[in-house]
Structure 1
């Protein structure tokens, strides 16, 4: 039995509503890169959220997934990098300086509810 145009349009509208709702609920989490730390050091996310790293360190820094699956490349002071979190993503990210005495530090992505979020 062929589907009617009305039913087809209703299904299409439902799919579009769900897709828009998911996009509308995604959040951007700002993370400041300092000389030897991230702020905040733990980010509470949902799949689809975006991490926005901003280099506030005195020198160039890179940020990458703990497993090497993504990297910002070199970020000069004031530059930023955005990364979208996928379900089941790596739960750590690494910051590193460049030069003769490199400094390395880490932050964490958590899919748990944020403390005090109620």
Structure 2
């Protein structure tokens, strides 16, 4: 019985440590940019996109493998990031009239954040 309680305590500690290790990152959707434009994260972290543009926005990944939106002005949407997710994302509402390319781009990175 005592051993089962010890094992349960260890499992509870490991579970709590795993839950605490996930971080939440925030990306601000601005009229002509994302801030930050690159988010350094680990698998299982969440990214919260907050719209500060004055109008509704849709965020899509390269090749449209994932999408968030519409996100209302002053609204937010959150996603959990798993390894293998498409890491380049765009503002679906900001498209060049000249060539159809996206004008606003951001990136998720699983690399270590650079030190300043």
- Please state which band the TM-score falls in when normalised by the shorter chain: 0.7 to 0.9
User: Is 2:54–2:74's contact at 8 Å kept on the other side of the alignment?
Assistant: no
Q: Per the alignment, do residues 16 and 116 of structure 1 end up closer, same or farther by CA in structure 2, a change over 3 Å counting?
A: same
Listed as ranges, the matches of 1:23-102 within 5 Å are: 23-97=19-93
How far is 1:103 from its partner? 7.7
Question: In structure 1, how many angstroms separate the alpha carbons of the residues matched to 2:12 and 2:63?
Answer: 34
Deviations along 1:16-50, whole A, 9 cap, x unmatched?
Answer: 21111111121111111012221101000011211
Question: In structure 2, how many angstroms separate the alpha carbons of the residues matched to 1:16 and 1:112?
Answer: 30
Question: In structure 2, how many angstroms separate the alpha carbons of the residues matched to 1:7 and 1:65?
Answer: 49
Larger radius of gyration: 1
Question: How many residues are treated as equivalent by the alignment?
Answer: 112
Structure 2 stretches lacking a partner, 5+ long: none
Listed as ranges, the matches of 1:10-21 within 5 Å are: 10-21=6-17
How far is 1:67 from its partner? 4.1
Deviations along 1:51-96, whole A, 9 cap, x unmatched?
Answer: 0101112322111333433322211211111011112322222222
TM-score by length of 2: 0.81
Q: Per the alignment, do residues 9 and 112 of structure 1 end up closer, same or farther by CA in structure 2, a change over 3 Å counting?
A: same
Structure 1 stretches lacking a partner, 5+ long: none
TM-score by length of 1: 0.80
